[in-house]
Amino acid sequence: MDFQQPQNHQNIETGTVPPQLNHGGHEMFDAHEVLAGAINTMNTYTMLSEHVQDPELRDILQRQKQFMADEYNITLECFKTGQDPSKPTQSYKMKQGNDFTYGMKPSQPKKPMQSAAELNDETIALSMLSAVKSVAPVKTGAAMETTNPVVRRVLADSIPNCIEMAYEISLYQNKHGYYQVPQLSQMDMQQMQNGYASAPVQPQMPGQYPSH
């Protein structure tokens, strides 16, 4: 996808801003947080990888880490150049189905590990989920503060990928009984669903809004 838009940005003191410097101050700090967070997430995956027992979880970890690395490189490139990356952004595709099992079953209370020997697939999946979820709000905040149109779009495009990865991990957790999902009663759900009505929308008149 081509992100580049005409850029004629100027600095009130130095005149025209070259593309590689087409970044505001907030953007610089927030992009730094995004890139550092991506490295931390990939480092977490690397540290966990040798302890994974389930081939299915290992496959999720490896696919997600490879996608993260590619996305990190694209973000870094456009951040450094201020221009279109050399390859387009991609959408992460998970392998899990979309079926959650609802309801709670008796289980042992959770507690902190007392030694590294207790590390298992349940803990690894939770660590992966926490790492992925921690990056999403940072990317959202950065995209809202970014002035460079290319970096803004790359960051915005990466947020759904975080959501998809987190969803894939949570589905894996649910399938293996690591994550239980309580439900409200059917009556309570219907009461909440019926607590809102559609908003009236005025028909759009021809020529009311400019075309893009």
Q: For residue range 133-163, what is the model confidence (pLDDT) as tens digits?
A: 999 999 999 999 888 889 999 999 999 999 9
Residue 168 lies in a domain: yes
Residue 42 lies in a domain: yes
Residue 104 lies in a domain: no
> Would you say how long the chain is, in residues?
212
C-alpha 151, offset from chain centre: 15
Confidence of residue 177 (pLDDT cuts 50, 70, 90): very high
Residue 111 lies in a domain: no
Residue 135 lies in a domain: yes
Residue 68 lies in a domain: yes
User: Residue 112: is its pLDDT beyond 60?
Assistant: yes
Q: For residue range 73-94, what is the model confidence (pLDDT) as tens digits?
A: 999 998 898 888 999 999 999 9
Residue 162 lies in a domain: yes
Cβ–Cβ contacts within 10 Å for residue 17, how many? 15
The structure's pTM equals 0.84
Q: How many domains does the chain have?
A: 1
Tokens 């495009």 found at: 157
Residue 193 lies in a domain: no
Q: What are phi and psi of 11, to 5 degrees?
A: -105, 135
Are 66 and 96 contacting, i.e. CB atoms less than 8 angstroms apart?
A: no
Q: Which residue segment(s) compose the domain that 61 sits in? A: 17-97+120-176
Are 71 and 89 contacting, i.e. CB atoms less than 8 angstroms apart?
A: yes
CATH of the domain at 151: 1.20.1260.10
